[in-house]
């Protein structure tokens, strides 16, 4: 039987998807290699821990934490004995959010009693496409080396292309100007290395939360710009709110402390007479309005 168990463990470890088992108390009893790769957490760090103890911390598209008793798909399965599926964002060990599709199934005793659950989760991002894009941007010097999103030059080129596209075809698009709140305090309190980690966490969360045809880049310092295509003002606000919530729900650890940040956002839809400069300036001013209004919010204009 031991050899058979080793065979099945090897089989599960070679799956690309993440797989983990929970007992009836939501204690993690197994964590495969796919789960290690997708989350950054090694099995030794999570086995015998409880899934609700700040590990995956699933959130939905609105940034709502799903670890509560009535929202967690695994809890639902443990309670009703039925499979459950969802599209969520898990918390990576490095702090950023990763979009995944999850499927939870019950584990039953020979008598039919629910004694645990197995969750399988799959990367929901355009991973291969993103890797190819990163390599191409690096090759032509359009990549920010720290955060591995596009740099200022890349955003400027993208804006010029979108404005020409809008003039020719009438296709609308919007711009979001995002600034990390109280970033200087992060550097002063934790040091510049941790500040760099916050920048990388924020960039990855933003990138993972956008559609594959939208664009985000680092404008400079703690500022990011996202270009969102085929949206009106209302739709742009929905995207901005999603990004705001995802950043708010991301975190990194510094010893025993958890470091979280928020972003203030200026959102605007491109106009017929806009230039890249006027678009950025307007979004920038709207972002400062969000700052002066309390931070961690969106101003649309």
Catalytic residues, by residue number, are: 222
User: Six-digit token pair at 39?
Assistant: 């989350």
Q: Supply the DSSP string of 72-94, one letter for each residue.
A: -HHHHHHHH---EEEEEEEEPTT
How many angstroms separate the CA atoms of 143 and 22, rounded? Answer: 41
**Could you tell me the sign of the dihedral formed by the alpha carbons of 102, 10, 24, 53, in that order?**
negative
Q: Does residue 243 sit in helix, strand or coil?
A: helix
Residue of 277, 280, 282, 274 whose CA lies nearest to 300: 282
Sequence-ordered alpha helix ranges (H) in the chain: 2-13, 33-39, 43-46, 73-80, 127-139, 152-169, 183-190, 192-209, 233-248, 276-292
Name the strand (E) or helix (H) holding 20.
Answer: strand 18-23
Answer yes or no: are the C-beta atoms of 281 and 97 closer than 8 Å.
no
How many angstroms separate the CA atoms of 153 and 151, rounded? Answer: 6
Q: How many CA atoms lie within 13 A of 256 on its CB side?
A: 0
**Could you tell me the sign of the dihedral formed by the alpha carbons of 81, 82, 88, 94, in that order?**
positive
């Amino acid at each position: 039987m031991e050899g058979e168990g080793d065979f099945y463990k090897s089989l599960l470890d070679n799956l690309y998807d993440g797989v983990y088992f929970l007992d009836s108390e939501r204690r993690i009893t197994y964590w495969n290699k796919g789960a290690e790769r997708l989350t950054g957490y090694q099995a030794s760090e999570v086995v015998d821990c409880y899934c609700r103890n700040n590990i995956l911390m699933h959130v939905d598209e609105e940034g709502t934490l799903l670890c509560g008793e009535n929202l967690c798909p695994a809890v639902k399965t443990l309670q009703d004995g039925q499979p459950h599926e969802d599209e969520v964002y898990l918390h990576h060990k490095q702090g950023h959010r990763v979009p995944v599709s999850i499927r939870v199934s019950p584990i039953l005793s020979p008598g039919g009693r629910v004694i645990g659950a197995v969750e399988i989760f799959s990367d929901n991002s355009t991973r291969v496409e993103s890797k190819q894009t990163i390599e191409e941007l690096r090759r032509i010097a359009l990549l920010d080396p720290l955060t591995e999103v596009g740099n200022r030059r890349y955003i400027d080129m993208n804006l010029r292309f979108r404005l020409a596209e809008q003039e020719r075809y009438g296709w609308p698009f919007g711009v979001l100007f995002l600034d990390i709140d109280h970033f200087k305090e992060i550097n002063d309190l934790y040091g510049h290395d941790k500040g760099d980690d916050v920048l990388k966490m924020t960039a990855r969360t933003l990138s993972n939360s956008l559609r594959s045809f939208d664009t985000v880049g680092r404008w400079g310092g703690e500022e990011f710009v996202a270009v969102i295509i085929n949206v009106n003002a209302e739709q742009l606000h929905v995207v901005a709110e999603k990004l705001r919530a995802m950043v708010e729900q991301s975190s990194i650890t510094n010893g025993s402390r958890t470091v979280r940040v928020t972003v203030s956002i200026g959102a605007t839809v491109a106009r017929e007479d806009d230039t890249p400069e006027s678009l950025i300036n307007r979004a920038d001013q709207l972002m400062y309005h969000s700052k002066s209004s309390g931070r961690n919010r969106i101003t649309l204009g």
